[in-house]
Amino acid sequence: AQKITQTQPGMFVQEKEAVTLDCTYDTSDQSYGLFWYKQPSSGEMIFLIYQGSYDEQNATEGRYSLNFQKARKSANLVISASQLGDSAMYFCAMRLKMNYGGATNKLIFGTGTLLAVQP
């Protein structure tokens, strides 16, 4: 089954410290993409970072980096130097091809991790 698992319902981190949010995925496809989104209390889903299954290097976007371990099927998000504004829900998501091999923009989401940054 194609699935995203986020095992941390909630996390606390001190301001200016780094934090790792866990994500494991399950798919037998060779070609897939992994995404992290941030959802503040306002509800909008904000794209943070993307990792392709064939990308050899871990993706980085500013303070965000994705620790991609393909053999372990994990795609953990690392936020460096946490800020109060990072407090939000974080979702890991995966995009696959359709059963017949065609293209799709459908995303499969995990259950999310609620991050609280403390001053």
Partner 1 sequence: KAGVTQTPRYLIKTRGQQVTLSCSPISGHRSVSWYQQTPGQGLQFLFEYFSETQRNKGNFPGRFSGRQFSNSRSEMNVSTLELGDSALYLCASSPLEGERVGYEQYFGPGTRLTVT
Q: Which residues bind partner 1 (CB under 8 A)?
A: 31-33, 35, 37, 42-47, 50, 52-53, 91, 93, 95-98, 102-112
Task: Count other Cβ atoms within 10 Å, centred on residue 75.
Answer: 28
- Cβ proximity to partner 1, 102 vs 119, nearer residue: 102
- Cβ proximity to partner 1, 1 vs 103, nearer residue: 103
Q: How far is the CB of 39 from partner 1 (least distance, A)?
A: 9
Q: How far is the CB of 108 from partner 1 (least distance, A)?
A: 7
- Cβ proximity to partner 1, 10 vs 15, nearer residue: 10
What span, in angstroms and rounded, lies between the C-alpha atoms of 104 and 118? 39
How many Å is the Cα radius of gyration of the chain? 14
* Buried-state track 15-28, b at ≥16 Cβ within 10 A, e below 16: eeeebebbbbbebe
